[in-house]
Amino acid sequence: MSIATSPFVREGTPLERAVKAARVYRRAHGPSILREFCTFLSIPNTSAEAEGLVRNAHFLQEAFAKRRARMELLRVASAPPIVFGELRTPGATRTLGIYMHYDGQPAGADRWAHPPWEPTLYHRPLEEGGQPRPLPEEGEPIDPEWRLYARSASDGKAPFAALLAALDALYAADIAPTANLKFLFDGEEESGSPNLPRYLKHYGESYHDVDAWLFLDGPVHPSRRPQLVFGARGTASLEVTVYGAVRPLHSGHYGNWAPVPGTLLAHLLASMVDEEGHVLIDGFYDGVEPVGEAERALLDAMPDYDDDLRQELGLLGTGLQGVPLVESLMLPSLTVRGLESGSVGETVRNVVPSHASASIDIRLAPGNDPETIMERVEEHIRRQGYHIVRVTPNHDTRLRHPKIARVVREKGYPAARTPVDLPIVGTLAKAVEAATGEPPLLVPTFGGSLPLYLFTDVLEKPAVIVPIVNHDNNEHAPNENLRLANLWYGVDLFAALLTM
Amino acid sequence: MSIATSPFVREGTPLERAVKAARVYRRAHGPSILREFCTFLSIPNTSAEAEGLVRNAHFLQEAFAKRRARMELLRVASAPPIVFGELRTPGATRTLGIYMHYDGQPAGADRWAHPPWEPTLYHRPLEEGGQPRPLPEEGEPIDPEWRLYARSASDGKAPFAALLAALDALYAADIAPTANLKFLFDGEEESGSPNLPRYLKHYGESYHDVDAWLFLDGPVHPSRRPQLVFGARGTASLEVTVYGAVRPLHSGHYGNWAPVPGTLLAHLLASMVDEEGHVLIDGFYDGVEPVGEAERALLDAMPDYDDDLRQELGLLGTGLQGVPLVESLMLPSLTVRGLESGSVGETVRNVVPSHASASIDIRLAPGNDPETIMERVEEHIRRQGYHIVRVTPNHDTRLRHPKIARVVREKGYPAARTPVDLPIVGTLAKAVEAATGEPPLLVPTFGGSLPLYLFTDVLEKPAVIVPIVNHDNNEHAPNENLRLANLWYGVDLFAALLTM
């Protein structure tokens, strides 16, 4: 008996039928869904892999073409392709724009249990003693607590796998989507989507009929409850390097006399941000828009999960002491995401290193401009007595300035928010409830960044983030993984979104 | 005509004849001296290379046995061998102990122009555009400004090569040494010679007749003038790791709320030492012995070379502002020799890292005890609110203490000084003058560390450091090198020391 003729799937509203069809389909075809997903995950996808990014784009072009979409690779010079797609259904009541990204963060391969582009299934999380196991054979039952380890298993390839399976499930059950779809698959999200503005300038017309954008990205709530998210913080980042002598010096023969870059950097960073994370840079918090009433109501309705999270993460306290996680994300933040000078551990050498570097990640709230905030950081560095350069200083420069900092800025983008009282929000919430049996948490903003502003502020359309992956997925870090229960949630949810 | 019968070498005092013999010999046999040295340099010699260290010891055993010494490998459990040797000459007027070390610092191979154990000759320093060139053929002239690049080319294998050639030169000229020699070749100097006390306990009797110890190690003065050094700073070191969450977190989703280890570490380090290198830890400078009158006279006689050094090193200022290099080495120092958290540069990831580490190098002045000073550093860390652990904290520990620092101490040893007014000092100075034509600088202490205290304070014999290598040798760092002129200086000087 085919899914289409199963009585179970024939009853109820299209939305109910779609969710049922998704469940029946993924239970029957779990192993082949995972196999196709692993093929996708095995294609390297960092910004350093130009050729790999193109292979990812081709994979998506073919996979969605097989699901009846008209696919096309858009190109601008010196950028990975945007994968465009269109899937029209006669009688559709709306057009949804679907944003996903196929690129991933650098992997730091040496710290992975398995190579990051060799997807490996574990019977539970590594931290809980998970053991690798083969992919399931056709017909073999799948434990939803299994974890699939690979770069981008969660961020952001999981939503592609879920959407492909959701389409297959609807087709298998002869259920027609109620929305036309327009796809925009980004290949530079993890690099701050620097070419997306150019792409939208050239190709924006292709998306003129989109009524609302869904960003299929990011994790569900740490409590594993579903959530819909109406904004994202903006981003800015810079790398700061301070200098000692032109070459590393023997720490005995020069220790006391030689300037120590690690010490200088420690003072510089300590002057920027206190131990709790309050930023001490003049003007850093200027211009941040106050939290609106509707957003305040959502924040107040969020469950207090911080104690559980602290327990899970092994933290007695937090950065901004006493500020709940969801509140802390309404503000801009400054994070030391990397430190490097000389070496530590087994390879430590008795040197005064010649330089020390810090990589600084800044997240922006609405009202912050990325260039302005980086300018304020640089003003602060100058006020600590540093001469700022853009490239490694030459000998002359070194002999003209007692303290030199090389600052390399990475292009950022501003925060964005979609109003939480639009009609589409209620429709989406009902779809989530149909897929999970419980209403989603409604969250004013993600702490993470997405180029949402291009859609809300440039294209001027609502944009809602619809996350599916587990929060404990090690995204951006070694041993990124996806909990299969979250993949299944994605299949069910996306089937619902297409028929809501 | 053999060297022995050359009229040039037949005239003068034994000391003068020895220096002449050395010059004639190294000019005639430079290529073979370099070839044997390169064989030695190609044997890996870090503490991680237990088997390589034994091969180094065997190389030395054979090389000195060929030069008529009675050689033996001394062993204590779980330590690289000490190479013992004895070279007796009938009618010798004294017995000199010769200390050298055959181990090297870790290499950080990826930052070398050539692999660290593939010795490579350059026609000038890398920084000046040096190009690699083949080892010279027999009879080919050798430019003394050539540089030989390899781990330990300077620190500490160069003195072995110089001493072997000096012995060959004396033998070729039929000049008998005026001293008996006792060799102690250390395989753990770069690790703080942790087993040398045990070795001296077991085998100290073999060295009972040594009148004075010569430590053949370290660089000449930055002005390239010869120097004799009468002390060394002691050493202590520790690695400090501070913690955030049990796993790296997405810097967007958790930025503001998650504690940032890099920020915590910056504050901790900034509280320990100011930007100029003044240590702010309570009691750090307590107990340092004041500079004696004889030492003060030597310090006052040192040339003011700091401006030239700043020029060479690209520094407008220094650490301890306004304190001359030689003076600054009379005090203990605290150097941040390594920093590590997350990553920077090409592989940077948007995470709040789970930990941040600093490696701290401490140099001690006479009067400092290594354990006491590390205790004071730990007291300071506790006063900043940290709970100190010795291993990575488990989940329970993390949930009991808001701030946790793992401190791993490395065993250190105290500073040592030999009185500068002993008769041997005048004898040594004359030998240097015979080898170079100019009197050596007499330096109260090296900034670097050597286990000199075991000889001065435990064996109670004078110990003088006799350096030969160039100061700009990148010792302890990538691209370590030896300027050949300094190797030739070593050959001449050691021939003089053996006949003084």
Give B400's contacts in chain A (Cβ within 8 Å).
316
Instruction: Tell me how far apart the alpha carbons of residues A173 and A6 are, in angstroms, rounded to a whole number.
Output: 8
| Closest by Cβ to B259, choosing from A270, A315, A361 | A315
pLDDT beyond 80 at A84: yes
| Residues 162-221 in A contacting B (C-alpha not used; CB under 8 Å) | 190, 218-219
Residues of B in Cβ contact (< 8 Å) with A449: 252
Residue B5, pLDDT score: 55
- What pLDDT sits at residue A6? 63
Closest CA to B21 of B39, B7, B35: B7
Residue A308 lies in a domain: no
Write down the pLDDT at residue B2: 52
**Position A341 pLDDT exceeds 90:** yes
Considering the domain architecture, whether residues A99 and A170 belong to the same structural domain is answered as yes
Q: What is the pLDDT of residue A346?
A: 86
- Selected residue of A147, A151, A251 to mutate for chain B interface (largest B Cβ count, 10 A): A251
HEC-encoded secondary structure of chain A: CCHHHCHHHHCCCHHHHHHHHHHHHHHHHHHHHHHHHHHHHCCCCCCCCHHHHHHHHHHHHHHHHHCCCEEEEECCCCCCCEEEEEECCCCCCEEEEEEEECCCCCCCHHHCCCCCCCCEEECCCHHHCCCEECCCCCCCCCCCCCEEECCCCCCCCHHHHHHHHHHHHHHHCCCCCCEEEEEEEECCHHHCCCCHHHHHHHHHHHHCCCCEEEECCCECCCCCCCEEECEEEEEEEEEEEEECCCCCEECCCCCCCCCCHHHHHHHHHHHHECCCCCECCCCCCCCCCCCCHHHHHHHHHCCCCHHHHHHHHCCCCCCCCCCCHHHHCCCCEEEEEEEEEECCHHHCCCEECCEEEEEEEEEECCCCCHHHHHHHHHHHHHHCCCEEECCCCCHHHHCCCCCEEEEEEEEEECCEECCCCCHHHHHHHHHHHHHHCCCCEEECCEEEECCCHHHHHHCCCCEEECCCECCCCCCCCCCCEEEHHHHHHHHHHHHHHHHC
Distance CA A463, CA A415 (A): 12
In a domain, A305, yes or no: no
Of B319, B349, B402, the CB nearest to A108: B349
User: Which residue among B268, B273, B341 places its CB closest to the CB of A338?
Assistant: B341
Question: Rounded to the nearest 5°, which phi and psi values hold at B251?
Answer: -70, -15
Task: Tell me the per-residue pLDDT of B418-445, one tens digit each, with 9 for 90 and over.
Answer: 999 899 999 999 999 999 999 999 999 9
CB proximity B339 to A under 8 Å: yes
State the CATH number of the domain containing residue B350: 3.30.70.360
Which residue, chain included where needed, has tokens 């720490």? A251
pLDDT digits (tens, 9 = 90+) for B184-193: 999 999 988 9
At residue A440, the pLDDT reads 96
Residue-level pLDDT at B1? 39
**pLDDT tens digits, one per residue of A231-247:** 999 999 999 999 999 99
Query: Cα B106 to chain center, whole Å?
Result: 13
A469 within domain boundaries: yes
Confidence grade of residue B3 (pLDDT, cut at 50, 70, 90): low
Domain that holds residue B316: 299-329
Please write the tens of the pLDDT for every residue from B352-400: 999 999 999 999 999 999 999 999 999 999 999 999 999 999 999 999 9
Q: Are B451 and B320 within one domain? A: no
User: Cα(B252)–Cα(A467) distance, rounded to whole angstroms?
Assistant: 15
**Which A residues in the span 403-432 are in contact with B, Cβ-Cβ below 8 Å?**
none
Q: What is the pLDDT of residues A414-432, one digit of tens each?
A: 999 999 989 999 999 999 9
Q: Are A466 and A352 found together in one domain?
A: no
Residues B314 and B284 in one domain: no
Task: Flag whether residue A273 sits within 8 Å of chain B, measured between CB atoms.
Answer: yes
Q: Is B12 on the interface with A (CB under 8 A)?
A: no
Q: Which residues of A touch B344 (CB under 8 A)?
A: 239, 338-340, 357-359
Q: Is B340 on the interface with A (CB under 8 A)?
A: yes
Average pLDDT score, chain A: 95
User: Looking at CA atoms only, how far is residue A3 from chain B in angstroms?
Assistant: 39
| Spatial separation of the C-alpha atoms in residues B468 and B26, rounded to whole Å | 16
Q: Do B257 and A353 touch (CB under 8 A)?
A: no
Q: Is A348 on the interface with B (CB under 8 A)?
A: yes
- Per-residue pLDDT, A7: 56
- Residue B369: predicted pLDDT: 96
CA distance B17 to chain A (A): 34
Asked if B368 reaches chain A (Cβ–Cβ under 8 Å), the answer is no
**Average pLDDT, integer, range B315-329:** 94
Q: Which residues of A touch B323 (CB under 8 A)?
A: 256-257
Chain A contact set for B218 (CB, 8 A): 253
Instruction: Determine, yes or no, domain membership for A155.
Output: yes
- Chain B closest-CA separation from residue A175 CA (Å): 36
B258, A337: Cβ pair inside 8 Å? no
B376 and B423 housed in the same domain: no
Whole-number average pLDDT of chain B: 95
B314–A339 CB contact, under 8 Å: no
A132 part of contact set with chain B, CB < 8 Å: no
- Asked if residue A301 is part of any domain, the answer here is no
pLDDT per position as a tens digit, B235-260: 999 999 999 999 999 999 999 999 99
Please tell me the predicted confidence (pLDDT) of residue B4: 53
User: At how many degrees (to 10) do helices B484-499 and B14-41 cross?
Assistant: 130
pLDDT-derived band at B347 (thresholds 50, 70, 90) equals: confident
- Look at A333 and B108 and tell me if their CB atoms are within 8 Å: no
B424 and B404 in one domain?
no
What is the CATH number for A465?
A: 3.40.630.10
Cβ pair B269, A343 in contact under 8 A: no
For residue range B9-60, what is the model confidence (pLDDT) as tens digits?
Answer: 677 888 999 999 999 999 999 999 999 999 999 999 999 999 999 999 999 9
Instruction: Inform me whether the C-beta atom of residue A345 falls under 8 Å from chain B C-beta atoms.
Output: yes
Position A113 scores a pLDDT of 93
Do residues A165 and A207 share a domain?
yes
Looking at the fold, whether A174 and A129 belong to one and the same domain comes out as: yes
Q: How far apart are CA B225 and CA B204, in angstroms?
A: 35
Q: For residue A313, which residues of chain B lie inside 8 Å, CB to CB?
A: 245-247, 249, 258
A313 and B363 within 8 Å at the Cβ level: the answer is no
Mean pLDDT of A321-336: 96
CB contact under 8 A, B329 and A257: yes
Are A268 and A242 in contact by the 8 Å Cβ rule? The answer is yes
Write down which residue in A387, A413, A439 finishes a domain. A413
Could you give the count of Cα atoms lying within 13 Å of A275 in the half-sphere of its Cβ?
A: 15
Split at pLDDT 50, 70, 90, the class of A11 is: confident
Q: How many distinct structural domains can be found in chain A?
A: 2
What is the pLDDT at residue A371?
Answer: 96
Same domain, B18 and B106: yes
Please answer yes or no on whether A361 and B335 come within 8 Å at the CB atom: no
Q: What is the 3-state secondary structure (H, E, C) of chain B?
A: CCHHHCHHHHCCCHHHHHHHHHHHHHHHHHHHHHHHHHHHHCCCCCCCCHHHHHHHHHHHHHHHHHCCCEEEEECCCCCCCEEEEEECCCCCCEEEEEEEECCCCCCCHHHCCCCCCCCEEECCCHHHCCCEECCCCCCCCCCCCCEEECCCCCCCCHHHHHHHHHHHHHHHCCCCCCEEEEEEEECCHHHCCCCHHHHHHHHHHHHCCCCEEEECCCECCCCCCCEEECEEEEEEEEEEEEECCCCCEECCCCCCCCCCHHHHHHHHHHHHECCCCCECCCCCCCCCCCCCHHHHHHHHHCCCCHHHHHHHHCCCCCCCCCCCHHHHCCCCEEEEEEEEEECCHHHCCCEECCEEEEEEEEEECCCCCHHHHHHHHHHHHHHCCCEEECCCCCHHHHCCCCCEEEEEEEEEECCEECCCCCHHHHHHHHHHHHHHCCCCEEECCEEEECCCHHHHHHCCCCEEECCCECCCCCCCCCCCEEEHHHHHHHHHHHHHHHHC
Q: Which residue of A has its CA nearest to B356?
A: A339
Give the model confidence (pLDDT) of A95-146 as tens digits.
Answer: 999 999 999 999 877 889 999 999 999 999 999 999 999 999 999 999 999 9
| B370 reaches A (C-beta below 8 A) | no
Does residue A115 sit in the same domain as residue A200?
yes
Tell me: pLDDT of A1 over 50.
no
Residue at which a domain ends, from A386, A413, A440:
A413
Residues 239-268 (A) with a CB less than 8 A from some CB of B: 239, 244-268
Residues A401, A424 within the same domain: no
Confidence at residue B475, expressed as pLDDT on a 0 to 100 scale? 87
User: How far is A19 from chain B, CA to nearest CA, in Å?
Assistant: 29
Residues 6 or more apart whose Cβ sits within 8 Å of residue B231 = B366, B415, B416, B417, B418, B444, B445, B446, B452, B465
Q: Which chain B residues are closer than 8 Å to A414 by Cβ?
A: none
Q: Which of A413, A429, A444 is the last residue of a domain?
A: A413
Both tokens of B266, joined, read 């910056």
Q: A224 and A341: one domain?
A: no
